[in-house]
Structure 1
Amino acid sequence: MTAILIGSLSVGIGVNFFLAPYHLLDGGLIGIALLMHYYFGSPVGLTTIIISIPLYIYVWNSARRYFFHSIHGLLFSSFTIDLFSNFETGWELPIFVSAILGGVIIGLGVGLMLRYETSTGGTDLIAQIISKKTAINVGVLIFVIDGCIILSGIGIVGIGAFFYSSLTIMIVGILTSLTTIHE
């Protein structure tokens, strides 16, 4: 439970304090929810839950263990994302620094959750299932999926935010990989 709480807080802080102010993207379903937020103004956490429903139906029917291990992570991280959405930090960081810090904080949070066999759901959950079946590192899988998602968002966030978002997901992938390595 501690990993879920710390991981969820990290994701909520990373998204709202470092990515959203610059219209940067994360990958996964949170990245899709951020795209919807930038385009429609919808709440990121709630949107993440809604677009996760088809995945959770699939997981309920095919890998129920993953359902039970990730539903709390999805709900807590979505809650913290929306909880922190109106917080003002009072600082202005360069976009480059914000992209790096956002990636570090989110990557550590996601990695911590995955290390303790839970996740924020979404593509983390998909990557976790694929990783167990193929032995491909979960961080690498998340990086590939995230890359596809941010690539699809160029038209909404622009080319500059796309490149900084690419930096963010590389850092998320690296820290997730490092955090999930079992000795």
Structure 2
Amino acid sequence: MIYIIQKAAAILIGSLLISIGINGFLVPHHLLDGGVTGIALILHYYYGFPTGLGMFILNIPLCIYAWIYERTFLYNSFLGLIVASIFIDWLAPLRTQFLLSIFTSGVLGGAFIGIGVGIMLRYKATTGGTDLLAQFITEAFSVNIGFVILIINGLIVTAAFNTLGLKAFLFSCLTICIIGMITSLMARTSNS
């Protein structure tokens, strides 16, 4: 029972931090996160589509696949996906609250998101998306999950390069690196 309460708290706190990172720091400078969140941000930047709703809709095919083939992955991701999606859209007013430089925003956004993801991963929870897709690919092809996530994130940011421009592309890469380093550090310390 205590573990369930801790997991729920991790999902709430992690989702809150991810939402602050996205809305407070990435969106004001049109920076991207990787994975499904990155695609949802692209939809937001170009079509005004709500980021959290986009993230949820884009995860539906992965959730269906997980329901059919790997329900454990679905159980560990679905609640995190719902909470993070709601928080991201609910905290959209933060987009005008922290008017910092693009460098500072990239670093802080990456830190907030990395800590949020790391907290959730400590309790085997995720927001779905790239983590869920990478788990499927790793299971199918026996490749390193970190490598798979890096490739997917790199493809998404590269696909947006022409429309975002060089500056946003470079700082999005910085943000993704910070997210990866902090998430890896937190995952490593939780295993020791």
Aligned residue for 1:79, secondary structure, equals: helix
Cα offset, 1:159, TM superposition:
1.3
Q: Tell me, which stretches of 5 or more residues in structure 1 are unaligned?
A: none
1:144 is aligned, of 135, 148, 151, to: 151
- Output the amino acid matched with 1:143: L
What TM-score do the two structures reach when normalised by structure 1? 0.92
Inter-CA distance 114–135: structure 2 relative to 1 (3 Å threshold): farther
The answer to whether the Cα contact below 8 Å between 1:103 and 1:168 also exists between their aligned partners in 2 is: yes
1-side partners of 2:125 and 2:153: how far apart?
19
The answer to whether the Cα contact below 8 Å between 1:150 and 1:166 also exists between their aligned partners in 2 is: yes
Alignment of 1:54-133 (within 5 A): 54-87=61-94, 89-130=96-137
Instruction: Name segments (4+ residues, structure 1) moved above 6 Å.
Output: none
Cα offset, 1:139, TM superposition:
4.4
The answer to whether the Cα contact below 8 Å between 1:139 and 1:176 also exists between their aligned partners in 2 is: no
What TM-score do the two structures reach when normalised by structure 2? 0.88
Q: Quick check: which has more Rg, 1 or 2?
A: 2
Cα offset, 1:89, TM superposition:
4.9
Aligned residue for 2:32, secondary structure, equals: coil
* Alignment: residue pair count: 182
Provide the residue aligned with 2:44 in structure 1. 37
- Higher deviation after alignment, 24-33 or 84-93: 84-93
1-side partners of 2:115 and 2:139: how far apart?
20
The answer to whether the Cα contact below 8 Å between 2:28 and 2:95 also exists between their aligned partners in 1 is: no
Aligned-residue sequence identity (percent) comes to 48
2-side partners of 1:78 and 1:153: how far apart?
22
- Output the amino acid matched with 1:120: T
1-side partners of 2:138 and 2:123: how far apart?
15
Provide the residue aligned with 1:46 in structure 2. 53
Cα offset, 1:116, TM superposition:
1.1
1:166 is aligned, of 146, 149, 173, to: 173
